Amino acid sequence: METFPTENSYMTKPGYRSEEEGEDENRETWSKKVDFLLSVIGFAVDLANVWRFPYLCYKNGGGAFLIPYLVMLLVGGIPLFYMELALGQFNRTGAITCWGRLCPLFKGIGWAVVLIAFYTDFFYNVVIAWCLHFFISSFTGQLPWVTCNNAWNTDLCRADALTHPGNSSNLTDTLYNISFIGNFTNQTMEPQLIANMSKSPALEYFERGMLEVHKSGGVFDVGYLKWQLVLCLLGVYLICYFSLWKGIHTSGKVVWFTALFPYVVLFILMCRGATLPGAADGVRYYLTPNFTSLASSEVWVDAATQVYFSLGPGFGVLLAYASYNQLNNNVYRDALLTSAINCLTSFFSGFVIFMILGYMSLKSNVPISKVATEGPGLVFVVYPEAIATLPGATFWSIIFFLMLLTLGLDSSFGGSEAIITALGDEFPILRKHREIFVAVLFAIYFLFGLASVAQGGVYVVNLMERFAAGYSILFAVFFEAMVVSWAYGAEKFAEDIEVMIGHKPGRYWMWCWKFVAPIFLMTIMIFGLVHYTPLTYENYTYPLSASLIGWAIALSSILCIPGFAIYSIITAKGTLMQRLSFLLTPQNNREAKIRKSINTIKVNENNVGDHV
Q: Per residue in 164-174, pLDDT tens?
A: 333 333 343 33
Give the pLDDT of residue 169. 37
**Cα-Cα-Cα-Cα dihedral sign, residues 375, 377, 383, 386:** negative
Please compute the mean of the pLDDT values over residues 400-413 and round it to a whole number: 96
Please compute the mean of the pLDDT values over residues 106-118 and round it to a whole number: 96
Who's near 582: CB < 8 A, 6+ residues apart? Answer: 104, 572, 574
Give the pLDDT of residue 590. 59
Q: 198 or 16, which is more confident?
A: 198
**What confidence category does residue 192 fall into, taking pLDDT thresholds of 50, 70 and 90?**
very low
Partners of 541 in the beta sheet? 536
Alpha-carbon 71 to chain mean position: 21
Please compute the mean of the pLDDT values over residues 280-291 and round it to a whole number: 91
Percent of the chain with pLDDT over 70: 86
Q: 133 or 608, which is more confident?
A: 133
Q: Is 310 annotated in some ligand binding site? A: yes
Per-residue pLDDT tens for 323-353? 999 999 999 999 999 999 999 999 999 999 9
Per-residue pLDDT tens for 441-490? 999 999 999 999 999 999 999 999 999 988 899 999 999 999 999 999 99
Please compute the mean of the pLDDT values over residues 248-252 and round it to a whole number: 93
Per-residue pLDDT tens for 538-570? 889 999 999 999 999 999 999 999 999 999 999
Please compute the mean of the pLDDT values over residues 387-400 and round it to a whole number: 94
Per-residue pLDDT tens for 349-388? 999 999 999 999 898 888 887 787 777 888 999 899 999 9
Please compute the mean of the pLDDT values over residues 301-330 and round it to a whole number: 93
Average pLDDT, the chain: 86
Q: 606 or 411, which is more confident?
A: 411
Rounded Cα gap, residues 313 and 94, in angstroms: 14
Q: Is 407 annotated in some ligand binding site? A: yes
**Highest mean pLDDT of the ranges 8-12, 177-181, 416-420:** 416-420
CB crowding 385-413: b at 16 or more within 10 Å, else e: bbbbebeebbebbbbbbbbbbbbbbbbbb
Rounded Cα gap, residues 329 and 322, in angstroms: 9
| Lowest-confidence pick of 189-203, 236-250, 393-407 | 189-203
Q: Are 424 and 244 in contact (CB under 8 A)?
A: no
Per-residue pLDDT tens for 580-594? 999 999 986 655 566
User: Minimal CA–CA distance to 50: which of 469, 348, 402, 260?
Assistant: 348
**Cα-Cα-Cα-Cα dihedral sign, residues 316, 376, 346, 527:** negative
Give the pLDDT of residue 166. 36
Rounded Cα gap, residues 399 and 133, in angstroms: 13
Q: Is 49 annotated in some ligand binding site? A: yes
Rounded Cα gap, residues 384 and 382, in angstroms: 6
Q: Is 328 annotated in some ligand binding site? A: no
**What confidence category does residue 536 fall into, taking pLDDT thresholds of 50, 70 and 90?**
very high
State in words which class domain 10-143+221-590 has.
mainly alpha
Partners of 418 in the beta sheet? none
The 3-state DSSP class for residue 90 equals helix
Rounded Cα gap, residues 557 and 567, in angstroms: 15
Q: What is the DSSP string of 297-351?
A: HHHHHHHHHHHHHHH-TTSSHHHHHHTTS-TTS-HHHHHHHHHHHHHHHHHHHHH
Q: Could you tell me the residue ranges of all domains in the chain?
A: 10-143+221-590
Give the pLDDT of residue 196. 55
Q: Is 342 annotated in some ligand binding site? A: yes
**Residue 111: which H helix or E strand, with range?**
helix 108-137
User: What is the β-pairing status of strands 536-537 and 540-541?
Assistant: antiparallel
Q: Is 45 annotated in some ligand binding site? A: yes
Rounded Cα gap, residues 84 and 43, in angstroms: 14
Who's near 422: CB < 8 A, 6+ residues apart? Answer: 94, 95, 96, 97, 110, 113, 114, 316, 320
